[in-house]
A and B are shown apart, each in its own frame.
Chain A
């Protein structure tokens, strides 16, 4: 491994010194490598540094991808000292001064993950091999995040996950070079359960409809375990195909099952369709076991709420961040995003923006782009002012621990962006778990890989 994955730019420089125009074949053995180089993949040379933004531009999560890309462009602008600085002034760490990262101007390349593991890896590999990207970030699906994270581990660059909610990303598939700011299924369950108990009582019978893939499984497990802990009973869990668009046949048996709560472990278009079907079937007005029938959506996003329209009214769910949060950081970010694009950012945009800043800050603090130095700077890093209150990047699994928002569909939305209201900000202590929690068991971080 010590002699592969080379830096194109670095090599160029070396050869330019040796004499432009002259053929200078260079074979890389281990020794020659360490002498001529700083010893890690894509070490930035010259006055710029390249980041790779790998987001879904086509496919089911294209909306989220587009919003993520906007956030990345904004982050690059702020890092380079353009615009109003966004969250830089509110960020508790003050080493970033708007002169890029370590004085190098930030440049970026973009790619399309197509929300497919294969395409995402191809795109990430081309960023690393062709464009010399030192860090890859983005994604709007856990499958892609896990796949790209593994690739970055092998290639020796840092991966800053975008929107990925499955426990596995920092659970059984965690990697030393990968970091996640977004919350996860377990946290959703832990945050939602007390709110559900307070609103719907502790004597409920739940029926789960779960998207039939990785994220669905971990979310179902998390919600099931945390609601059973407050005394609920799980009547049935049914898997639905990811490509399903009509859920009527899955909704119809719910009322006869004796359940009085329906949990929709669906995301994106799936959730929009299943919720709409459930509401059309009159589940909101129904009575079961002498109680009002209720619906719960564990992971909410503004883009989904928009798709489901009036159907989300009064329905509980959890989210990582919402633009209406009153703290200084959130306000600053919403303001600068709104000024540039004319509408408030989504939670996907927020997490991507924050991840970029966190990476830049870690490099600056570490004083090196070396992935191992960055890993060290991020592990156990405590920060504030980025919209979620005091946050810890836990060293054991590279997961951020911060407050989680429990939200509810707004009864009287004032605009198409104002669809969710914050019910409760669940404090971080309540969603923290041990690194070896059974829902996260089975993986190992390994050691950081600087590549090259």
Chain B
């Protein structure tokens, strides 16, 4: 079905299921309980999960297939965001034109940067992309302030021209982003006992786009084009000697993944209409590399898992403070409580980077194939009896060993 074989179809259905039921899956703890702290089922974070999922899927098309490590992918996300906000300022608050222009602008920008950077490979390519991204950041942060809003970021204001829409609502506020009238911040809430699940319009739009992006990525992975990209990764010299020019393939992969990044940027501003220069900073580019490696580079679902894990830690772990810790350990005698709090404190709140770092090290050392490999190992434990591993993920990783 849909041009996919059975395994890929199952994987797509699995991802679709996860994404559709995310509001349930991410809110496993009842409201008001101690563990509600760990619930991630609120619109902002769910949107981030799928948007960064798209970003990571796109990055993986370049990195996972061709092995070219771009260290400047955040620049495309940023450029896409700016284009999207300008579309909202000038044209309409409907998110569709904004998303489309984001993809187009990011695609053109990645064509330019890719054309230059791909003259080199390996570490030189990485450094070139890093340099371009930092240049874009510096431009956005100060030189191009009239265009990008500089440090403050580009945001909507009450006197935007907005040709196909209104500059301000009757109540004097800035109109909100919508999809043909469906406001992105509209939510429907379902209470089951003391559980509360939020279904957000914006999230489901992002989720639908993400499923399409994921489907396209499967098709690319399985296409002859994808095979060519793998050939680039395995041995570019050999490819040249057989009479094939790798450059058009790598450039196409670069532009495709740049457009994915632009799509993510466009969705980001559709959910929250502000574009800040920081999303082009090199740490943001590094983050998507982490996502891909953490989840499993070169696998289909890995980058999405990696993106989810990093965003979860950034948003949930960083919000735990010492007061909350004291509540958790309140049942212990005073002395021990303080010791426990002191022990745990460096790893939460502002220390979430530390926890992420440790986790990343553990994954790279013990699970070189990322979380996907972890999943496979667990799966293998359960079906040791089985004659043959029949796991779709396992199959992929055998086809495309991770970095």
Contacts and interface: CB of A to CB of B under 8 A. Distances in A.
Query: How would you classify the secondary structure of chain A's contact residues: helix, strand, loop or mixed?
Result: mixed
Nearest to B43: A129
Interface string B193-210: 110101000000000000
B391 interface: no
Contacts of A112: 318-319, 349-350, 352
B191 A116 contact: no
B148 to A, nearest CB: 11
B268 to A, nearest CB: 8
B186 interface: yes
Report the interface size class on chain B: 35 or more
Interface in A151-183: 151, 153-154, 168, 173, 176
A180 B192 CA distance: 41
A142 B151 contact: yes
A29 B302 CA distance: 39
A146 interface: yes
Interface stretch (A83-91, A287-295, A335-343, A439-447): A439-447
Contacts of A9: 31
Interface in A75-128: 108-112, 116-119, 121-123, 125-126
B224 interface: no
B189 A26 contact: yes
A12 B353 contact: no
A20 interface: yes
A11 B151 CA distance: 38
Contacts, number: 173
A110 B185 CA distance: 23
A365 interface: no
B4 interface: no
Contact of A130 (B39, B138, B185, B321): B39
A109 B157 contact: no
B173 A154 contact: yes
Given A117-B278, A126-B319, A444-B158, A151 B272 contact: yes
B188 A215 contact: no
Given A117-B278, A214-B151, A446-B158, A4 B183 contact: yes
A147 B158 contact: no
Given A26-B191, A119-B278, A213 B319 contact: no
A241 B349 contact: no
Contact of B42 (A22, A130, A154, A213): A130
A239 interface: yes
Given A4-B186, A112-B318, A146-B152, A12 B173 contact: no
A154 B174 contact: yes
Nearest to A214: B151
A5 B187 CA distance: 7
B152 A214 contact: yes
A6 to B, nearest CB: 6
Contact of B44 (A4, A129, A168, A213): A129
Interface string B156-198: 1111000000001101111010000001011111111110101
Interface string B300-341: 000000000000001100110101000000000000000000
Contact of B171 (A12, A16, A449): A449
Given A28-B189, A142-B152, A147-B152, A58 B278 contact: no
B150 interface: yes
Given A121-B272, A121-B274, A153-B173, A12 B321 contact: no
Contacts of A3: 186
Contact of A122 (B32, B48, B138): B48
A128 to B, nearest CB: 8
A62 B189 contact: no
A8 interface: yes
Contacts of A62: 350
B155 interface: yes
Given A1-B183, A130-B42, A143 B158 contact: no
22 contacts: A12-B31, A20-B193, A112-B318, A117-B151, A117-B278, A118-B276, A119-B278, A121-B274, A123-B315, A126-B42, A126-B315, A126-B319, A129-B198, A130-B45, A142-B151, A143-B153, A150-B274, A213-B142, A214-B150, A215-B151, A446-B174, A447-B171
Interface of B: 31-32, 39, 42-45, 48, 138, 141-142, 145, 150-153, 155-159, 168-169, 171-174, 176, 183, 185-194, 196, 198, 272, 274, 276, 278-279, 281, 314-315, 318-319, 321, 323, 349-350, 352-353
What 5 pairs between A and B have smallest CB-CB spacing? A117-B276, A15-B191, A57-B350, A447-B172, A143-B151
